[in-house]
Amino acid sequence: MSVRNTAMRRATIARITLPVILAATAITLTPTPASAAEGGDLENRSSTEMEYASFSGAGRVHRCQVWNDTLTARWADSENLACKQTALPASREVVGRYDVDGFTFEDRPYVVSLQMPDLSYLRVEVGKGVWTKITDADRAVCSGSAQPHCLVTIF
């Protein structure tokens, strides 16, 4: 076999092998549900209990009226979703391994300021018992008492 044929064969193998290796690396490094965050983070700095919910998975025995059921959770699209509701006392937070897909104050209206992709904020007044959806990339911090205010940022 000539040197030229050997060099061409190696170049062909390199052109085929490199994309396969890169694709395998991308698949390996892509987060899976087991290693990715389960949901957004929620901190209740208010003086009253609130609730958070999961809109997926097992145990969804409740109904949640969500005002912003869109992919980015930034636009109005009202839906009544199956959910699993959990109480969150004042001065507590849920982060990390918890599946937080939304939150509400059952007994009072509240205000939400949603950080938009352009880093501006959209202010929305939400009625009592109406749920605000958050994404896995969101962090919501709620404070206040009579009418709590929740700041939802992209982290």
Indicate the domain borders of the chain: 1-30, 41-154
Of all residues in the chain, the percent with pLDDT exceeding 70 is 76
Q: Hey, CA dihedral for 125, 101, 65, 129, is it positive or negative?
A: negative
Q: How far is CA 146 from CA 48, 104, 139, in A?
A: 9, 14, 22
Q: pLDDT category, 5, cuts 50, 70, 90? A: low
Burial of 29 by CB count in 10 Å (0-12 exposed, 13-18 middle, 19+ buried)? exposed
- pLDDT tens-digit readout, 113-152: 999 999 999 999 999 999 999 999 999 999 999 999 999 9
Q: Which of 136, 46, 45 is nearest to 95 (CA)?
A: 136
Name the token pair of 31: 């987060």
d(CA 72, CA 117): 9
Which residues, in sequence order, are CB contacts of 125 under 8 Å at separation 6+? Answer: 109, 110, 111
- pLDDT tens-digit readout, 20-78: 333 333 333 333 333 344 789 999 999 999 999 999 888 899 999 999 999 999 999 99
**What pLDDT shows up at residue 96?**
82
d(CA 32, CA 28): 9
Q: Pick the residue with more confidence: 7 or 135?
A: 135
Q: State pTM to two decimals.
A: 0.75
- Number of Cβ atoms within 10 Å of the Cβ of 50: 23
